Structures are given as structure tokens and as C-alpha cells.
Amino acid sequence: MIDPFGRPITYLRVSVTDRCDLRCVYCMAEDMTFLPKAEILSHEEMDRLCAAFIRLGTNKIRITGGEPLVRRDVMALFRSLGARLGHGLDELTVTTNGTQLAKYAEDLRAAGVRRVNVSLDTLDPAKFTAMTRWGKIEKTLDGIFAAKAAGLHVRINAVAMKGVNEDEYDSMLAWCGEHGFDLCLIETMPLGEIDADRTDQYLPLSVVRGRLRKTWTLEDTSYQTGGPARYFTVAETGQRIGFITPMTHNFCESCNRVRLTCTGTLYMCLGQDDQADFRKVLRAGATDADLETAIRAAIAHKPKGHDFVIDRRTREPALARHMSVTGG
């Protein structure tokens, strides 16, 4: 699948639920209304849609959410997608907050998952609870070490927040080095109402990288995972650090991704509203050929790029939907 700007679309992110057991301050409001079950695709519907994407050239699928591992039948989806590895699908991965990883790490590995991204914004237990509103750091750490023990490669994702965790990146980089994890820092994106002013939270990663270079040797590397992170090797630890910089450096020119939500809406861009309703197509009795036609038609409308801006006058987010809808 090639989009109108010549970009091959090979990567599908699937948000399998809008629900979550945490309420990270940059992601959700504390009081969220979640979708009724009838609106959510079954795992069979999701698998069928993913299979159509794979037939059309998608070779990488990332399962995300909300918190994907709180969905009850999520392992059935991992198993059915895992069976497609080597048959068009090259990689199946997951982004998780880690709270359920102690329970599922072995099963994920058995289903064919080899790499997991775990969100951990701080190593300070009190700050972790403040940032996630409801979380206990021990649970996420147990999950991270269970993933390591199961032989999964772990990348720690941390959202960079001004005045909140910005004093911790050195210690997090050292901790990741010690345990064999990569670290990826992410700029906050203005998605959805969150009970706070996002202009107060935003910390440009260009500044962070400059500060890190005072302590660490960041060597250029061609390492790529198919996502938007730009990586460096940390000479002192041998691990990598990645930077996801949608605000300071727009990565749209090399975008290879589209995003499917748990209701079957396909978003062609994380930062735009262009979408296609696949639940309607599926539930109208579409054949596999109909699904493929609908996917091609959607890709033909992929926009050139996002234009994230926080309106400085109204201080409203660029998009009304939360990150938990599309899963990042």
C-alpha cells in the first residue's frame, strides 16, 4: 500500500480497548467515560481486519490501548495474530503500562512477541503514583522484570514533562543500562482534555538531549524499529536511547503507520481527524475483497502530516480525542 505522498504503509497499530487501570495525567482526565461493549470490535473482528491489512502488505502490528492487557480476551488476539508471523507478518509487539505483565509475559512470548514497550515515567514511587494518579510502581516494575525474565526485549517509554520528571533522565538512563533496557523519551502531544494546562507540561527534547550529552556519549546509530523514534547508542551502557519528537521535529515525511481503534475506526494520522469506519463495513457482511477495497480507499486519504499546536489563546488541545483512543 502506497499513500498519496509515496509512503509505503506497512505498520498497523491496534488499540484494543479504550479502558485503563491507570489515569496518567498527560493522557486521561481522572473521570473518563468509556465505550459500551457493543461498540467494541470482538477479537475475531480485529483479527479478520488485521489479516486483510497483512494481505495488503502490513508487516508489523503493535497492540496498544488504553491498556491492552486489561482487555479480557486479549491473549486470544495475540495468539491468532501470532500465528500470522512468518506468513506476511514480521513483527507483533505491544505497548503496555506493565501492570499485567507479570501475569502475561510468558504467554506473550509464547504467542510470538519478542519486544515490549513499557511506560514508566519515573523511578520515584511517590512521583509514579502522582503521575499515574492510581498506580503503584512495584506492580509495573514486577511486570518489567517478568518481561525480561521471559526473554522479551524491553524498551522503557517515558513522557518528558517539564518540572515533573526532567531531573530523572540521567538516573533512568543508568537504570536502563544496568538492566539491559532501551529508553525512549516522548514529547507530550496535545491530545484530549486532561484537567491540566498542556502548555505548562511541554518540554522540548532538543533541550533534554543537550543536557544528557553533558554526562553521556550519544553515538549515532542506524538502528530503527519501524516507529518514529530516533535512536542513539549510549556508549557508557551499550543500550540505546530514543527520542520521539512530534513537536520539535515533525517525523511525518517518513510515516509508515495507520491506527485502528477498538471500535474499528481507522485513523490515517495520529494528529488529524481523517478516518474510516471499518466496524460498519465488517458488520454489513463485507467479504475479504470488500475489506481490502475499503482499506485501499482509506489509505488513499492519508494526510501529509499532523499540525499539533496548542492554541495559546484558548489553551485547548489540538485534537479532542485522547491518546488512549489511538494508543500513541
**CA nearest neighbour of 282 among 267, 269, 266:** 266
Q: Which is nearer to ligand SF4, 7 or 322 (CB)?
A: 322
Nearer to ligand SF4, 30 or 236 (CB): 30
Is 203 a binder of ligand SF4 (CB under 6 A)? no
Cβ nearer to ligand SAM, comparing 99 with 256 = 99
Q: Which does 9 bind (CB under 5 to 8 A by kind): ligand SF4, ligand SAM, none?
A: none
Q: Which of residues 23-42 bind ligand SAM (CB under 6 A)?
A: 26-27
Site for ligand SAM (CB under 6 A): how many residues?
20
> What is the C-alpha separation between 103 and 226, in angstroms, rounded?
28
What distance in Å separates the CA atoms of residue 63 and residue 86, rounded to the nearest whole number? 18
At which residue does the C-alpha cell 533541550 appear?
A: 207
Residue pair 182/239 in contact by the 8 Å Cβ criterion: yes
To ligand SF4, the closest distance from the beta carbon of 307 in angstroms equals 23
| 58 binding ligand SAM? (CB under 6 A) | no
132 interacts with ligand SAM by CB under 6 A: no
Question: Distance between CA atoms of 201 and 160, rounded to whole angstroms?
Answer: 8
Q: Which of 17, 93, 96, 225 binds ligand SAM (CB under 6 A)?
A: 96
User: What string marks each residue from 12 to 51 as x (binds ligand SF4 by CB under 6 A) or -?
Assistant: --------x-xxx--xx-----------------------
* SS3 assignment, position 53: helix
Q: Which is nearer to ligand SF4, 135 or 177 (CB)?
A: 135
The Cα 120–Cα 184 span in angstroms is 10
Tell whether residue 188 is a contact of ligand SF4 (CB under 6 A): no
Q: State the cell numbers at 258.
A: 495507520
Binding flag, residue 119, ligand SF4 (CB under 6 A): yes
User: Which among 180, 192, 134 has a CA at the least distance from the CA of 319?
Assistant: 192
CA gyration radius, the chain: 19
Question: Residue 321 Cβ, how far from ligand SAM at the closest point, in Å?
Answer: 11
Closest separation between CB of residue 149 and ligand SF4, Å? 22
Tell me whether residue 157 or residue 237 sits nearer to ligand SAM (CB atom): 157
Report if residue 157 touches ligand SAM, rule: CB under 6 A. yes
Q: Does 203 bind ligand SAM (CB under 6 A)?
A: no
Return the C-alpha torsion angle 156, 157, 162, 165, nearest 10: -30
Task: Give the type of residue at 180.
Answer: G
- What is d(CA 3, CA 239) in angstroms, rounded to the nearest whole number? 34
Q: How far is the CB of 60 from ligand SAM (least distance, A)?
A: 16
Instruction: Measure the CA angle with vertex 62, ends 60 and 65; round to 5°.
Output: 160
Residue numbers at the binding site for ligand SF4 (CB under 6 A) = 20, 22-24, 27-28, 65-67, 97, 119, 324
